[in-house]
Structure 1
Amino acid sequence: MDTTAAPASDLFPPLERASPDAPGDDELLALLALVDAGGATASRRALLEATGSAAAALALGPLGWREARLTDAQQARLRRPDAARLDAHRAWLDTPGRRLVGWCDPDYPPQLKRSPSPPLALFVVGEPARLWHPTVAVIGSRAATPAGRENAARFADAFARAGFAVGSGLAAGIDAAAHRAALDRGALTIAVLGTGPDVAYPPGNRDLHARIATEGVLVSEHPPGTGPRREHFPSRNRILAGLSLGVVVIEAAERSGALITARLAAEAGREVFALPGSIHNPLARGCHRLIRDGATLVETHSEVTAALANPALELASNLRGRLATPIQHHGVAGLSSSAAARPEGLEGSVWDAIGDDPVGIDTLALRTGLTPAALSSMLLAMELDGRIVTQHGRYYRVR
């Protein structure tokens, strides 16, 4: 029996890389094959950690896969990959602004990596470095009351003004209200999907899905074309919890996906907050249950941002390590800021390129000669420092 696997490049015809910062074609194909193998992720993550790359993991062949405790079904999928399916995924990723961020990718969000059962890889629409941004998840019922939607929008707008990204699951009700409020503020919103990154669900959120794809970040562990499946939404919730520093539950029934997300957030060591409500509102019972179980009762957004100040500083330190530049200050409201000072080194060149007028990342790339991915990481660090702000995809100096 042949116990070796053909390199990923032998399975498909050559394809140009989507961008200078995208993984090489052989690595991308190998990672897609590992994702497509399906099943539990723990053994595949361990395989990647042991080998250091998806291409090396694929090259081990059946003997190595068996030693890594991949199931028979996973090994069968790796031996006989669905070439047409993987080629379609690769073609989707060839469009600028789309990335597959694998477990070994330096852009894999560190806070997600430290959470229980993190995904093997993330399909991302938008800049992956923005997933490092300090994020507050705002979640709740799909059948929210008007007051609940107003509270979601009010809290999300306040978090955006304080410098946090707003995360949610792009569901109807509370999720949609939170996403829209962040977008209307010109701030970052991150939507974690239970479908493929190209599938808008529910269909009524199609326009919101498209807007987030342009102005925020869409993220999913499922390949393009994956439709809604009941079992995908609880697993979606663990990613949202893992990406966030804290979770705010606005309205929730006693049995709801929001409570699952809150439980997963607590298990991941994240802060859980809940808004109290009327004893006559069935959508307040889930929040009251969370409070009885130890969640923090909150009435204002400042109670949340104050509690998350230290985790936000830790995340900024992680980003500085990623960029190999010294940690200075942090731009989240309530923390110290070095607003108007020109940074040194390469960030100083980016500061000069921004100039006095708002500018988009494509123009900055032309002015600096840097790739959009490299620029995005530096811009995020400068935003965390409080030196710049971003609104509607354009960057401004803080004066």
Structure 2
Amino acid sequence: MDRESARSLDRGIRLSIALSSVPYAEKERLIMEGRAPYLGRSGVRDYQDALDMITKAGAKVAAVGDSEYPEQLYRMESPPMVLYYRGDLSLLYRPCIAIVGSRDCSEYGRFAARATSSAVSRLGACVVSGGARGVDSEAHLAALYNEGKTACILGCGVDVAYPSENRRLFSLIAENGVLLSEYPPGFKPKKWTFPMRNRIIAALASAVVVAEAREKSGSLHTAAYAEEWNRRVYAVPGDIRSEGSKGVHQLIQMGARLLSHPSELVLDMISADPGCVGWRLEDLGLLGIPVEKSFLSRITGLKQETFESNIQMTDKPFIVESAGDSRIIFRKR
């Protein structure tokens, strides 16, 4: 997908292309040629119906080429032409960590998902997962519990509660994070939509953590996409007697990093992007306010010496200023 060609088009034309029923290859061609599809009378009616349905669902739409469209997705061979969302799509511009795993996970898998999600959300990352039972739900809930941010990528419309027991969770995510789908409002989940959803999860994240997975788990598809797009893949080792550990052990054998404790991922994150702490301070309303380094250590879970050795390397979008021997100030650039 040529993002510059898409960005140069009038948004109305891009949106009409994205929401049209023509095949994906035809949509790409229309964007490259810079012309709107021929809709006809019925097509115009369908286009208006689609816009009305989006509004009725309380959703918004980001078409390819829009400023709010996530940059990470342009690296995909065939990025979604349109994204439907409820919540704050800008959260995907901060560091994103995907946490995925089995629906029928063990208590150990739930613990691994909660511990990892808590650690990275306290550092300011957006926790990305798929809203399914088990590991996904635990990852979302832990991020929310820690006053962090989370993105839920759905295999159905953003107004469809699947699974139904997660209806309340989806409402919380829409209020404190973002619900996202490439499928229009009202679209019911299909067997094939979940692998398609997994590719978006992998593309959005800088790293994918598989907390627990059987040998043929869909989480392995997410890990495969991540590997293809040069994302880091972490696997939490499990009980060698458990079927739920076979998938993660297979990933480790194939080269995924063994994650023996969430602190290992946190250290990798702070080394790669020290500025992620600024997002945490923004979440807590502390940007532009002098804060004690010891306090930052407590709210992020980082040792103070680790924090101090990395923080001066902070790059965009934050500036770090000294406010005395023991205090610093984070500001947005």
What TM-score, normalized by structure 2, do the two folds share?
0.76
**In the TM superposition, what is the alpha-carbon distance from 1:254 to its structure 2 partner?**
0.7
Which residue in 2 is equivalent to 1:58? 36
**In the TM superposition, what is the alpha-carbon distance from 1:276 to its structure 2 partner?**
0.6
**In the TM superposition, what is the alpha-carbon distance from 1:257 to its structure 2 partner?**
0.8
Q: Which amino acid aligns with 1:263?
A: A
Which residue in 2 is equivalent to 1:331? 277
Which residue in 1 is equivalent to 2:15? 31
- For the residue of structure 2 that corresponds to 1:331, the secondary structure is helix
Q: Deviations over 1:137-196 (max 9, x none)?
A: 000000011111121111101111111110000000000010011111111100001001
- For the residue of structure 1 that corresponds to 2:190, the secondary structure is coil
Decide which of 224, 232, 236 is 1:275's aligned counterpart: 236
Q: Matched residues in 2 for 1:46 and 1:311: separation?
A: 38
Which residue in 2 is equivalent to 1:138? 99
**In the TM superposition, what is the alpha-carbon distance from 1:249 to its structure 2 partner?**
0.1
Q: Deviations over 1:342-377 (max 9, x none)?
A: 5xxxxxxxx9xxxxxxxxxxxxxxxxxxxxxxxxxx
Q: Is the 8 A contact 1:174 1:250 kept in 2?
A: yes
Q: Is the 8 A contact 2:13 2:36 kept in 1?
A: no
Q: Is the 8 A contact 1:252 1:258 kept in 2?
A: yes
- In 2 relative to 1, CA 43–276 (structure 1 residues): closer, same or farther, beyond 3 Å? farther
Which residue in 2 is equivalent to 1:346? none
**In the TM superposition, what is the alpha-carbon distance from 1:332 to its structure 2 partner?**
6.0
Which residue in 2 is equivalent to 1:165? 126
- In 2 relative to 1, CA 89–311 (structure 1 residues): closer, same or farther, beyond 3 Å? farther
- In 2 relative to 1, CA 268–49 (structure 1 residues): closer, same or farther, beyond 3 Å? farther
Which residue in 1 is equivalent to 2:215? 254
- In 2 relative to 1, CA 341–30 (structure 1 residues): closer, same or farther, beyond 3 Å? closer
- For the residue of structure 2 that corresponds to 1:189, the secondary structure is strand
- Superposed, 1:156-305 pairs within 5 Å as 156-305=117-266
Q: Is the 8 A contact 1:157 1:185 kept in 2?
A: yes
Q: Matched residues in 1 for 2:85 and 2:235: separation?
A: 29
Which residue in 2 is equivalent to 1:45? 28
Q: Structure 1: 5+ residue runs without aligned partners?
A: 1-22, 52-56, 62-77, 314-328, 334-338, 343-350, 352-380, 388-396
- In 2 relative to 1, CA 386–231 (structure 1 residues): closer, same or farther, beyond 3 Å? farther
Q: Which amino acid aligns with 2:214?
A: A
Q: How many residues align?
A: 286
Superposed CA RMSD? 3.1
**In the TM superposition, what is the alpha-carbon distance from 1:49 to its structure 2 partner?**
4.5
- In 2 relative to 1, CA 341–153 (structure 1 residues): closer, same or farther, beyond 3 Å? closer
- In 2 relative to 1, CA 103–312 (structure 1 residues): closer, same or farther, beyond 3 Å? farther
Q: Which amino acid aligns with 1:331?
A: V
- For the residue of structure 2 that corresponds to 1:123, the secondary structure is strand
Percent identity reads: 35
Which residue in 2 is equivalent to 1:155? 116
Q: Matched residues in 2 for 1:228 and 1:161: separation?
A: 32
**In the TM superposition, what is the alpha-carbon distance from 1:42 to its structure 2 partner?**
4.8
**In the TM superposition, what is the alpha-carbon distance from 1:115 to its structure 2 partner?**
2.9
- For the residue of structure 1 that corresponds to 2:277, the secondary structure is coil
Q: Structure 2: 5+ residue runs without aligned partners?
A: 1-6, 280-284, 290-315, 322-328
Q: Is the 8 A contact 1:29 1:90 kept in 2?
A: no
- In 2 relative to 1, CA 205–84 (structure 1 residues): closer, same or farther, beyond 3 Å? farther
Q: Is the 8 A contact 1:331 1:386 kept in 2?
A: no
Q: Is the 8 A contact 1:111 1:242 kept in 2?
A: yes
- In 2 relative to 1, CA 385–247 (structure 1 residues): closer, same or farther, beyond 3 Å? farther
What TM-score, normalized by structure 1, do the two folds share?
0.64
